[in-house]
């Protein structure tokens, strides 16, 4: 390939809002046949809102929101932002966190007001042997059936609340999926979120809901394995993501595309950055590389 054409392609990419790590990236872009899309922050806006609050019997809602809001205030996850904002709107200033750790793809834990607090998916709470009481379990399944994301809140060894957050699909995602299909790519939705939410989002944007194209409840470390498995099947895989949890998968993919609106870690792990965080730029990137390489050959 003549470097000149690739450099011209790289320059054209910048005009389209696509930052390309090196000219050679355009080569691998051309061969891609499968495109794996992270859900939260990639297909959806990632700007979630706290829409339902369920507390267990005897739990003070204000205290729960202070503890949960304070802990989530220390996390960068879209769910965390929704919980912290929703809590602040209802109870005002939040206390400081004394200790904090992020449990990638599962939730967060820390110490607030002397309580050991844990927030995250039900599987995480259960690992800590804190199953949800029946009323909270019902609230969770009802929310998930409606395509919303429910997280559990526990402190001092007991599950005490379920918080429900809702996200919206980006207005451009369905169009991008249709265009990717027209380019001959198979879109796959990959998420750590629950299967009901994943199904709702897939249907909304036009991704087939078969087990091969709808992959939910995947832990961050296992996102890489999904990419490896597709590659082992002979697919040439592009992955689009935004989160810290997507970074290993972005690096493993034949072509990693990061949302410019996402985390630095995701951007560093990727070959391309879609500056505006619009999935349609992934379509532009693939068209650009095909056109650029056609000029060369
Ligand atoms: P996605 O793959 O859709 O970007 P993640 O892998 O980031 O989602 O998160 C997977 C799941 O882990 C979430 O749906 C949620 O249940 C839980 N989780 C992750 N981080 C948090 C957090 N800060 N607070 C509460 N729950 C969280
Ligand atoms: Mg994400």
Cα-based distances in Å from 213 to 117, 147, 203: 36, 18, 11
The two most distant CA atoms of the chain are separated, in Å, by: 72
What's the chain's average pLDDT?
92
How many Å from the N-terminal Cα to the C-terminal Cα in the chain? 8
DSSP summary character for residue 156: T
Rounded to an integer, what distance in angstroms lies between the CA atom of residue 101 and that of residue 109? 5
Mean pLDDT, to the nearest integer, of 62-89?
A: 96
Alpha helices, H only, the chain: 3-15, 25-31, 61-72, 78-91, 122-127, 134-145, 173-182, 195-205, 220-232, 247-252, 264-269, 280-296
- Return d(Cα 117, Cα 68) in angstroms, integer: 8
Quick one: average pLDDT of 170-184?
A: 96
Q: Name the residue ranges covered by the structural domains of the chain.
A: 3-45+169-296, 49-166
Q: What tokens appear for 182 in the block?
A: 């027209």
Residue 107 Cβ inside 6 Å of ligand 1? The answer reads: yes
Architecture of domain 49-166: 3-Layer(aba) Sandwich (3.40)
pLDDT reported for residue 31: 87
**Ligand 1 pocket check for 119: Cβ under 6 Å:** yes
**C-beta 80 within 6 A of ligand 1:** yes
Asked if residue 95 lies in contact with residue 113, where contact means CB atoms within 8 angstroms, the answer is: yes
Closest residue by Cα to atom 4, ligand 1, is 40
Asked about 38 being catalytic, the answer comes back as yes
pLDDT at 289 over 90: no
C-alpha span between 207 and 209 (Å, rounded): 6
Residue to probe by mutation, ligand 1, list 36, 37, 39, 40, most atoms within 8 Å of CB: 40
User: Does 196 contact ligand 1 (Cβ within 6 A)?
Assistant: no
Q: What is the DSSP string of 76-92?
A: -SHHHHHHHHHHHHHH-
What CATH architecture applies to the domain 3-45+169-296? 3-Layer(aba) Sandwich (3.40)
Phi, psi of 33 (to 5 degrees): -120, -10
Q: What is the pLDDT of residues 202-257, one digit of tens each?
A: 999 999 999 999 999 999 889 999 999 999 999 999 999 998 889 999 999 999 99
Q: ipTM surpassing 0.85, yes or no?
A: yes
**Closest residue (by CA) to atom 8 of ligand 1?**
192
Tell me the CA–centroid distance for residue 184 and ligand 2, in Å: 24
Using CA atoms, how far apart are residues 187 and 230, in angstroms rounded to an integer? 12
Instruction: Judge whether 106 and 124 are in contact, CB under 8 Å.
Output: yes
Phi–psi pair at 164, nearest 5 degrees: -115, 125
Q: Which atom of ligand 1 is nearest to the CA of 106?
A: 12
- Judged by phi (left if over 0) then psi (alpha if -120 to 50, else beta), residue 180 lies in alpha
Strand 237-241 and strand 255-259: pairing? Answer: parallel
Query: 260 is written with which tokens?
Result: 């410019």
Question: According to the model, what pLDDT value does residue 1 have?
Answer: 52
* Whole-prediction pTM: 0.79
Which residue shows structure tokens 């949890």? 245
Whether the per-residue pLDDT at 68 is higher than 70: the answer is yes
């Amino acid at each position: 390939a003549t470097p000149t054409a690739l450099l011209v392609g790289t320059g054209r990419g910048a005009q389209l809002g696509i930052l390309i790590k090196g000219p050679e990236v355009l080569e691998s872009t051309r061969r891609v046949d499968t495109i794996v899309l992270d859900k939260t922050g990639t297909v959806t806006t990632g700007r979630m809102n706290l829409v339902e609050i369920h507390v267990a019997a005897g739990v003070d809602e204000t205290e729960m929101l202070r503890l949960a809001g304070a802990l989530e205030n220390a996390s960068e996850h879209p769910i965390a932002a929704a919980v912290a904002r929703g809590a602040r709107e209802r109870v005002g200033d939040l206390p400081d966190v004394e200790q904090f750790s992020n449990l990638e793809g599962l939730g967060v834990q820390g110490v607030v007001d002397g309580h050991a607090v844990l927030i995250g998916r039900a599987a995480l709470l259960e690992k800590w042997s804190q199953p949800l009481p029946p009323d909270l379990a019902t609230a969770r399944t009802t929310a998930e059936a409606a395509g919303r994301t429910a997280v559990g809140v526990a402190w001092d060894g007991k599950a005490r609340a379920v918080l429900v957050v809702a996200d919206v699909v980006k207005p451009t995602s369905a169009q991008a999926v249709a265009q990717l299909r027209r380019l001959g790519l198979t879109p796959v939705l990959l998420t750590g979120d629950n299967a009901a939410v994943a199904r709702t989002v897939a249907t909304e944007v036009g991704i087939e809901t078969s087990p091969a194209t709808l992959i939910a409840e995947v832990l961050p470390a296992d996102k890489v394995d999904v990419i490896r498995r597709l590659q082992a099947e002979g697919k040439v895989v592009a992955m689009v993501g935004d989160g810290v949890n997507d970074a290993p998968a972005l690096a493993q993919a034949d072509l990693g595309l990061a949302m410019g609106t996402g985390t630095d870690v995701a951007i560093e792990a990727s070959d391309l950055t879609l500056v505006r965080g619009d999935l349609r730029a992934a379509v532009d990137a693939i068209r650009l590389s095909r056109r650029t390489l056609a000029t060369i050959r």
